[in-house]
Amino acid sequence: MNETEQIIRTEYSELMQKSYIDYAMSVIIARALPDVRDGLKPVQRRTLYDMYELGIRYDKPYRKCARIVGDTMGKYHPHGDSSIYDALVVMAQDFKKGMPLVDGHGNFGSIEGDGAAAMRYTEARLKKITQEAYLSDLDKDVVDFGPNFDETEKEPLVLPVKVPNILINGAEGIAVGMATSIPPHNFGEVIEGVKAYMKNPDINTEQMLEYIKGPDFPTGGIVVNKDDLLSVYSTGTGKIKIRGRVEIEKGKGGKEKIVITEIPYTMIGLGIGKFLNDVYHLVETKKTTDIVDISNQSSKEGIRIVIELKRGADAERICNLLYKKTRLEDTFGVNMLAVADGKPETMGLVPMIRHHVNFQYEIATRKYKTLLQKELEKKEIQEGLIKACDVIDLIIEILRGSKNIKEAKACLVEGTTGNIKFKSEKSKKQAAQLRFTERQATAILEMRLYKLIGLEIEALMKDHETTLKNIEKYETILGSRAAMAKVIIKELDAFKKEYAIPRKTTIENGKEIILEEPKMEEMEVVFLMDRFGYARTIDVTAYERNKEAADSENRCVIVCKNTDKIGIFTNLGQMHLLKVADLPYGKFRDKGQPIDNVSNYNSSEENLIFVASLMQMKEQKLLFVTKSGMLKIVSGAEFDVAKRTTAATKLGDGDEVIQIGVYEEGLHLVLQSKKSMFLRLEASCIPEKKKGAIGVRGMKLSGDDEISETYLMMPGENIKIMLKDKELELNRLRIGSRDTKGVKRG
């Protein structure tokens, strides 16, 4: 046996246990889980850093992915090339990442599960956001570097990411004995959340959810368990229920089509094909006989899966069947696990932001310390050069009298004059008093003669002033946490302004899917809505008993069927439908339900203009008036749609609807402008148009004038209004022609 060999006797199970734990920790820390500070796994961090080192910036030409992968593998990531390329591809896919970090050129796969082309064909470069918010300041000693696997290179242990990437892009990873699953979030919302934490470090999860509403998946969709989000984000674990977005369209011959325009995030890839097969299976097993055909019409413009139905099929019931029996409604399991302080930890929303903010203060402190040090060095040199300019003749004399640079430097720094020849004793005495620093002396000896030109000396003085200002600025930032917070928030605001995008995923409390609903017995009810937008239905006899109070206390009173829908028309030209059956039915004095809760109407963003029963509307014609004076009549049958929200009219820029009324034969319309111009028209002169038309001009308005009031009158009816303390009878106005200015009153 070789003398250097040693045999260690040990229990085999102990050795296996230790080896397995070492392996497990290696996988957890150095492979599968992201770091909470930059939200990146090692392979992602190394790939981005390599691209930065190779100079593949957003404003430079694309480079072959094979070059990037090879360089990353050779320098930083000694694993298979496929793992590096796969990570690179995912960072470029806008349907997987809330904020893609790589700008891919070529085939980088599709949402339907098609793989990317081979790395020898595809090209990539960094995105602008990656360069500005993920990789900037690496030259300012903001993060620690460590040796690579063979100790021939240095690599950053974490990237100085200035935005909470772990929340913006989310993360997925399977380690040994644990897994992470963090959903992506909206860029702008997350930045607002960080700012809120910086202003109030005691903020709780409930308060944080006012800023970060919930996940924002790049595929859109609808989160339907809003009430569960507080628990999910408090603990860092839980389930998020997502539904695809579905629209019901009218097809040929009165048939309806279910069109899926957004899919659950979990359906990305092979899930779409699986969904199509599941729908086929529902038809084959006779779970439904109402589906005629299904086709995937998705393109680069977006998802469009069309399910054609038989004539007379209940589209809503089919939607419920799809939610219940396929992955059109799915669950995203949340487990917010990340590496924090070198160990894996499951964190809620606020702790994750806390880690990020602490990291921001750390990198900002290191950055401004580095900048301050550079400015102090610059100040030292500038002061030396300014001082040198004042005694330049003496310095030239020292240089001419010195045998070598060592003697000259010794004289400048220590005043050593022994071996230097001077023209006079006075010069020698002056030289002996010189006390430049080492750095100043080096700068003086390296200074070129043209620096003695007057303008150059002026520039030096200006530079010195700038340096002093920078020193003061950096010392202020480093001197207080509040000043540093101000700088960080300013930078975050700049990122938000440039890169924030609107939210794609809707967050709501969706109704539980119930397939077998008992057939509703049709009956006549009265729809009541008060001036605060609370609506309910009551029995017809209850209404008749309280008719006077009901009419005076409510904004809308409509006799309709409980199977009917109510159309809510808004100033923004939208019509929102709500089912009468969704409203509370009870006694006259019972409280109603806000129409915001049972329809898509949003009282904080739009004003209610007109409310009508869909069944009654189908037999009527509606007159539209906008504030720019556009008029049209539309058949009520046009509004018999299945969509919960539809465009009721087309509006010009800055225009809005101010009046919708029921058109009747003989109706007169009076338009009043802000500048007290009046025009009385016979409504019969207004043409009938489609709901998608903009209409015709009813009144010529001058300058910034606009329609402020409209009045509808039937023959024999007289409306009196007060105008500047005078009464005006509208039926005394002369009937005018459409597209005229009208007459001035008041």
Instruction: Find out whether 143 and 136 touch, Cβ atoms under 8 Å.
Output: no
**Strands, E assignment, 475-589:** 506-507, 524-530, 534-539, 554-561, 565-570, 574-579, 585-586
Instruction: Find out whether 625 and 707 touch, Cβ atoms under 8 Å.
Output: yes
Least confident of 315-324, 346-355, 386-395, 497-506: 386-395
Residue 429's φ and ψ, nearest 5 degrees, are: -65, -40
Q: Which two tokens stand for residue 559?
A: 């006799």
For residue 474, tell me if it sits in a domain: yes
Distance CA 418, CA 100 (A): 68
CB atoms within 10 A of CB 499: 18
Mean pLDDT of the chain: 90
CB atoms within 10 A of CB 152: 9
Instruction: Find out whether 574 and 645 touch, Cβ atoms under 8 Å.
Output: yes
Instruction: Find out whether 187 and 496 touch, Cβ atoms under 8 Å.
Output: yes
Identify which has the larger pLDDT, 23 or 226: 226
**pLDDT on residue 189:** 96
Distance CA 33, CA 714 (A): 73
Q: Which two tokens stand for residue 630?
A: 């556009």
For residue 215, tell me if it sits in a domain: no
**Chain Cα centroid distance, residue 322:** 29
* Judgement on whether residues 323 and 363 belong to the same structural domain of the protein: no
Strand, helix or coil for residue 445: helix
Q: Where is the domain boundary, 278, 306, 327?
A: 327
Distance CA 687, CA 177 (A): 71
Distance CA 222, CA 216 (A): 9
**Confidence band of 460 (pLDDT split at 50, 70, 90):** confident
Return the CATH number at 601: 2.120.10.90
* Judgement on whether residues 60 and 147 belong to the same structural domain of the protein: yes
**pLDDT on residue 516:** 60
**H helix intervals, 521-636:** 540-545, 547-553, 595-598, 614-617
Distances (CA, A) of 433 to 40, 124, 399: 58, 61, 16
Q: Any idea what the Cα angle at residue 576 is, between residues 308 and 189, rounded to 5°?
A: 95
Distance CA 717, CA 380 (A): 91
For residue 216, tell me if it sits in a domain: no
The model carries a pTM of 0.66
**H helix intervals, 480-531:** 481-499
Which residues neighbour 84 within 8 Å (Cβ) at sequence distance 6 or greater? 43, 46, 47, 69, 72, 73, 77
- As a dihedral over the C-alpha atoms of residue 49, residue 52, residue 58, residue 60, rounded to 10 degrees, the angle is -150
* Judgement on whether residues 471 and 539 belong to the same structural domain of the protein: no
pLDDT digits (tens, 9 = 90+) for 346-402: 999 999 999 999 999 999 999 999 999 999 999 999 888 888 888 888 888 888 888
Do the strands 534-539 and 677-682 form a parallel or antiparallel pair, or are they unpaired? Answer: unpaired
Identify which has the larger pLDDT, 24 or 559: 559
* Judgement on whether residues 254 and 150 belong to the same structural domain of the protein: no
* Judgement on whether residues 531 and 676 belong to the same structural domain of the protein: yes
Return the CATH number at 379: 1.10.268.10
Separation of first and last alpha carbons in the chain: 118
**Confidence band of 515 (pLDDT split at 50, 70, 90):** low
Instruction: Find out whether 363 and 133 touch, Cβ atoms under 8 Å.
Output: no
**pLDDT on residue 520:** 67
User: Which domain, by its residues, includes 455?
Assistant: 359-486
Return the CATH number at 303: 3.30.1360.40
**Strands, E assignment, 297-328:** 305-309
Identify which has the larger pLDDT, 535 or 424: 535
Which residues neighbour 715 within 8 Å (Cβ) at sequence distance 6 or greater? 666, 668
**Confidence band of 42 (pLDDT split at 50, 70, 90):** very high
Q: Which two tokens stand for residue 361?
A: 């203060």
For residue 12, tell me if it sits in a domain: no
Q: Which two tokens stand for residue 110?
A: 């599709």
pLDDT at 106 over 90: yes
Report the pLDDT averaged over residues 605-630.
92
Question: How many domains does one find in the chain?
Answer: 4
Catalytic residue from among 121, 585, 601, 663: 121
Report the pLDDT averaged over residues 686-709.
91
Report the pLDDT averaged over residues 673-685.
91
pLDDT at 27 over 90: no
121 catalytic? Reply is yes
* Judgement on whether residues 441 and 573 belong to the same structural domain of the protein: no
Q: Which two tokens stand for residue 574?
A: 């939208």
Residue 136's φ and ψ, nearest 5 degrees, are: -70, 160
For residue 694, tell me if it sits in a domain: yes
* Judgement on whether residues 682 and 552 belong to the same structural domain of the protein: yes
Based on the number of CB atoms within 10 Å of its own CB, is 22 exposed (0-12), middle (13-18) or buried (19 or more)?
A: exposed
* Judgement on whether residues 323 and 364 belong to the same structural domain of the protein: no
* Judgement on whether residues 368 and 292 belong to the same structural domain of the protein: no
pLDDT at 335 over 90: yes
Q: Which two tokens stand for residue 29?
A: 């820390």
Q: Which two tokens stand for residue 578?
A: 């709500």
Instruction: Find out whether 246 and 323 touch, Cβ atoms under 8 Å.
Output: no
Which residue type does 43 have?
A: V
**pLDDT on residue 193:** 96
pLDDT at 518 over 60: no
pLDDT at 312 over 90: no
**pLDDT on residue 403:** 84
* Judgement on whether residues 477 and 408 belong to the same structural domain of the protein: yes
Q: Where is the domain boundary, 142, 161, 180?
A: 161
**Confidence band of 686 (pLDDT split at 50, 70, 90):** very high
Exposure string (b/e) for 306-321, b if CB count within 10 Å is 16 or more? bbbbeeebebeebbbb
pLDDT digits (tens, 9 = 90+) for 119-177: 999 999 999 999 999 999 999 999 999 999 999 999 999 999 999 999 999 999 888 77
Instruction: Find out whether 387 and 443 touch, Cβ atoms under 8 Å.
Output: no
Neighbouring C-alpha atoms within 13 Å toward the C-beta of 735:
11
For residue 202, tell me if it sits in a domain: no
Distance CA 356, CA 37 (A): 5
**pLDDT on residue 424:** 80
- As a dihedral over the C-alpha atoms of residue 650, residue 655, residue 661, residue 667, rounded to 10 degrees, the angle is -100
Strand, helix or coil for residue 469: helix
For residue 208, tell me if it sits in a domain: no
Which residues neighbour 579 within 8 Å (Cβ) at sequence distance 6 or greater? 565, 598
> Position of tokens 């369209």?
249
Q: Where is the domain boundary, 303, 327, 351?
A: 327
* Judgement on whether residues 255 and 384 belong to the same structural domain of the protein: no
* Judgement on whether residues 379 and 268 belong to the same structural domain of the protein: no
Residue 606's φ and ψ, nearest 5 degrees, are: -140, 155
pLDDT digits (tens, 9 = 90+) for 53-92: 999 999 999 999 999 999 999 999 998 899 999 999 999 9
**Strands, E assignment, 136-183:** 145-147, 154-156, 171-174, 179-182
For residue 606, tell me if it sits in a domain: yes
